Amino acid sequence: MQSWFTAWLAWPVWLIFASLFAFFLATAAFMVWASFRPPLGAHVQTCKGVVAPFFASVGVIFGLLVAFLSNDIWDRNKQAERVVLTESDTLVALYSLSVASGTDSRGLRTAIRAYASAVVNDEWPRLALEERSAKTEAALNALLHEVAQPGGTKDAGVQRTMLDMALKIRSAHEDRVQLSQNRSAVTKWTTVLLLALITQVAIAIVHLERPRPQAAALLIFTVGAVSLLGLLAVHEAPFEPPIFVPPGPIAKVLSQVPM
């Protein structure tokens, strides 16, 4: 199920929305047919009399589960934005400290630029595929090696601070890679989709008097639910198109750190 879920999220936006609309409109249409047409209509009509507050209880549960899922997705996207900003700011701060302390060297500038270039050009496209970049890993190791070497100053405090910055960059890089491979649990999505279906059933049950009001109520709920679920699915992965965290802050490092 996990592989199917990941494959579904990788579909184009229009196809994600189309699949959701097709499924839930089909279930809504089936419920209207089953409520008023033989051979099921006579049996379903025996449930007539369920009061409207019954739908409200199911709708509240559905709303709560959607809120939990959306909070998980938004929090993951916010974490991704913070990690990217931390990574870019620390790269610039590392260069600024080397200049201020007199330890600036061509080797350090080259290592910083090589890492930023590898992240933007090689790693970012791979994040959408949940892959690691060997080129970026090599550039990061080269940066750590360059920072760990004794600089033009004997100030151990500056050297330690620069090394801490390099390790912070490495930590942010690992966090970013982990976030690219992180997804909401399949059980959460399955539960939300199931509750959406149960909510449709609840709407149908409380509208058994006439078919047109039942169809209208089901259509309104289906359009709202599918729009919401589709937007959540589009934002599920913070580094996958079409809506994703851009590498802009790290790309700006190339203009802030000279060659």
pLDDT tens per residue across span 71-128: 999 999 999 999 999 999 999 999 998 888 877 788 889 999 999 999 999 999 999 8
Say which residues have a Cβ less than 8 Å from residue 106's Cβ, sequence separation at least 6. none
Q: What is the mean pLDDT of residues 140-158?
A: 79
pTM of the predicted structure, to 2 decimals:
0.83
Backbone angles phi, psi at 129, to 5 degrees: -100, 5
Residue 250 sits at the vertex; the CA angle it makes with 245 and 256, to the nearest 5 degrees, is: 145
Residue 139 predicted with pLDDT over 60: yes
Residue pointed to by tokens 């559905």 = 62
21: tokens are 């609309």
The domain limits of the chain are: 2-46+189-234, 91-182
The average confidence (pLDDT) of the chain is 89
For the segment 41-68, the average pLDDT, to the nearest whole number, is 85
CA-based radius of gyration for the chain:
27
Helix ranges restricted to H, the chain: 2-9, 13-36, 41-45, 53-100, 106-118, 124-127, 134-148, 156-180, 186-205, 211-234, 248-251, 253-256
Q: Which residue has the tokens 């709560």?
A: 64
Percent of the chain at pLDDT > 70 equals 97
Q: What's CA 29's distance to the chain center, in Å? A: 32
Note the pLDDT of residue 257: 87
